[in-house]
Amino acid sequence: EPTGADDSPTLELAGLQLDRRDFMKAGAATGAMTALGGCVGGLTDTGGSGAGTSSGGGGKSTADHKVPPGEHDEYYGFWSGGHSGEIRVIGIPSMRVLTRIPVFNPEPAKGYGFDDQSKQVLEEGGGYSWGDNHHPALSETGGDYDGEYLFVNDKANGRIARIDLKYFETDAILDVPNVQAVHGFTVQSPDTEYIFGNGEFRTPLPNDGRDLDSPDSYESLFSAIDPESMETQFQVRVDGNLDILDTDKDGRWAIASAYNSEEAVTISGMTHDDRDYVKAFDVPAIEKLVEQGKYDEEVNGVPIVDGTKESPHNSGSNPIVRYVPTPKSPHCVEVGPNGKYAFVAGKLSPTVTMLDIEKLGEVDDPADAVAGRPKVGLGPLHTTFDGNGHAYTSLFIDSQVAKWDIEKAVEAETGSTEPILEKQDVHYNPGHIQAVEAMTTDPDGEWLVSLNKLSKDRFLNVGPIHPDNDQLIHIGEGEKEMEVVADHPAYPEPHDCVFAHKDKISPKRVYDKADVDGEFVTESASGVERTGEESVNVKLSAKRSEYGLADFTVKEGDEVTMTVTNIEGVADIVHGVAVPEHDVHVAVAPQDTREATFTVDEPGVYWIYCTYFCSALHLEMRSRMLVEPR
Ligand code: CUK
Ligand code: CUA
């Protein structure tokens, strides 16, 4: 039994009667924190307590998740990499890591952040060398993944990246103006005309040294970005701290969880009141204000609309932002596949608050849009869906996944456990959970992954920084069929993932010439061209097993721009170009051209070599860079 709940009398919360014992009232924030930590420390076995609990992890599995050698997975899984800054591509159901996509992190294996093109992406994105990505989202057309882009946020530096799924490569990073942290992040459904990000931390606006210690004037901003131009179209300032975000399935509402309605700067201050407010943004209404020039100010080139409670835009009968009261400090908002409800996980409250999305625009009092509030267990963080009317909620404190019936929860009384069908133990402390195709209007069910923050003793000891444990769960179609079928150690620290059927993603095997910027360097075009007193262009073709030049000469102090084309037309033959002692590595896939610019400061002989094992003569694939003294 977790500790840390306090025993004061019943608490009335937004119409919900809850025992203080259940509710991690966060006036007792320290108590809640103790509970989070204490539970973890005390979990030496499966940790399950309730009836109907399936024991996780051990024994034999009935669900076949093995993918035989040479066969393919059914789904692409795109995992955020947390503060590693990368995306990981993992096959479902095998859980094999297929590749990694560097996003906010320079990464030599793919030459990302080393060649001039990817350096520019990182530079334009602010020039940081890491990021903290949490929420990967696939672009949609007609409520389904269209396979064009994957987007992801950087919480650490307030950025958003776009990955081109034609090449599984980051092609743009936007440093979102006026915000310090982009946490909640999603694409617009059913058609991705915007991508939306929640600025979580409140800061002065603009954050230029004014109002340093005047928290009352700090702002939290919701941002709408054009996915093609990657430019911020407008921002909306609101009360409190924005957290997680999802959109409805009709292109109208973007719904954000939020905490700290007190607008405090200490944990005790942030947990003083009894409730917080989900913010539902009426996107077309805000868009219209912006188009008519009726925004309130423009900061760093972005129109900013006042969406605070006191805003005149919120005083009429059609407020642009609806403030729906919820129990204190909720975590995630996820919208179900049919678009009927938004699910707000309680975190400190053992409930999930369901919002009737249609009612959001109809009721006078936003609280009347609450459609249900089942009691799912302790520490609910995230909810996902199958196609059979079930919701699955991760329970961080209970270390479980609760499966429940959505419509039953609407019929049941607030705080009822009746809709709960089954609970599955996971190891340990799940954050996000995700079922296959769950963000579309037509999820497949069958597989769900629980992204558990701690693995404790589940794997060989690899030192004090343990891997996370991503557990694959077969969810079946019936009511009580959840089964953990695989443990999967994860490098720090995935938060979330999204799974698309393999038929919806069609990456290229070699580059299309039309997509490559940079001169295609043929063998005969290989050569050295002096462009200035201290600058020189070196053009190199690459094929098995030679570069276009066996050697070339440059001068001490030269700035060398090296252009390399892989002239191979055959898939899977990649060549690398390593320039020793110059911090240069370029990876060039078939038909691609990359450039690298560097300065040669020390005279001498430098053996350039190929890093990808491309042929039996791979070791011999070299060129000599001769740097003459000046
Ligand atoms: S947050 Cu990490 S577990 Cu950034 Cu989606 Cu909930
Ligand atoms: Cu080319 Cu190894």
- Atom index in ligand 2 nearest the CA of residue 615 equals 2
Q: How far apart are CA 252 and CA 338, in angstroms?
A: 14
Choosing from 381, 451, 470, 498 the residue with most ligand 1 atoms within 8 A of its CB, the one to mutate for a pocket test is 381
The three-class DSSP label of residue 207 is coil
Asked, for residue 602, whether it belongs to a domain, the answer is yes
Which ligand ends up closest to the CA of 543? 2
Q: Residue 317's pLDDT is what?
A: 84
Q: How far apart, in whole angstroms, are the C-alpha atoms of residue 375 and residue 93?
A: 30
- Residue 581 resides in a domain: yes
- The strand pairing partners of 224, in sequence order, are 196, 234
In a domain, 624, yes or no: yes
Domain of residue 558 covers 513-628
The Cα 323–Cα 334 span in angstroms is 17
pLDDT for the residue numbered 62: 63
ipTM for the whole complex: 0.97
Q: Which amino acids bring their CB within 6 angstroms of ligand 1?
A: 134-135, 183, 244, 331-332, 381-382, 431-432, 495-496
Which string of b and e fits 142-155 if b means at least 16 CB within 10 Å? ebbbbbbbbbbbbb
pLDDT of amino acid 537: 98
Give the distance (Å) from ligand 2 centre to CA of residue 622: 9
CB atoms within 10 A of CB 418: 14
pLDDT of residue 415: 96
Beta carbon of 490 within 6 Å of any ligand 2 atom: no
Least distant ligand from the CA of 575? 2
Q: Which residue, judged by its Cα, is nearest atom 1 of ligand 2? A: 575
The list of the chain residues with pLDDT below 50 reads 1-59
**Is there a contact between 557 and 533 (Cβ–Cβ < 8 Å)?**
no
Could you tell me if residue 571 is inside a domain? yes
Give the ligand 2 atom nearest the CA of 614: 2
Is residue 422 included in any domain, yes or no?
Answer: no
Ligand 1: which atom is nearest the Cα of residue 135? Answer: 5
Nearest CA among 56, 38, 25, 114 for reference residue 473 = 56
Nearest ligand, measured from the Cα of 621: 2
Q: Let me know if residue 584 belongs to a domain.
A: yes
**Pocket of ligand 1, candidates 382, 439, 469: which has the most ligand atoms within 8 Å of its Cβ, to mutate?**
382
β 559-566/535-543 pair status: parallel
> How far is the C-alpha of 53 from the C-alpha of 227, rounded, in Å?
43
65 located within any domain: no
* Contact residues for 213 (Cβ-Cβ < 8 A; gap 6+): none
Provide the pLDDT for residue 476.
82
Per the structure, the count of domains in the chain is 1
Q: Which amino acid is at 357?
A: I
39 in contact with ligand 2, CB cutoff 6 A: no
* Residue with CA at minimum distance from ligand 1 atom 3: 431
Q: Which pLDDT value is given to residue 14?
A: 42
Query: Is the residue at 143 inside a domain?
Result: no
User: Whose C-alpha lies nearest to ligand 1, atom 2?
Assistant: 495
Starting at the edge strand that comes first in sequence, how are the strands of the sheet with 159-164 ordered? Answer: 137-141, 144-154, 159-164, 169-175
User: Which CATH number covers residue 552?
Assistant: 2.60.40.420
Query: Which of 597-625 are b and which e, b meaning 16 or more Cβ less than 10 Å from the residue's Cβ?
Result: ebebeeeeebebbbbbebeeebeebbbeb
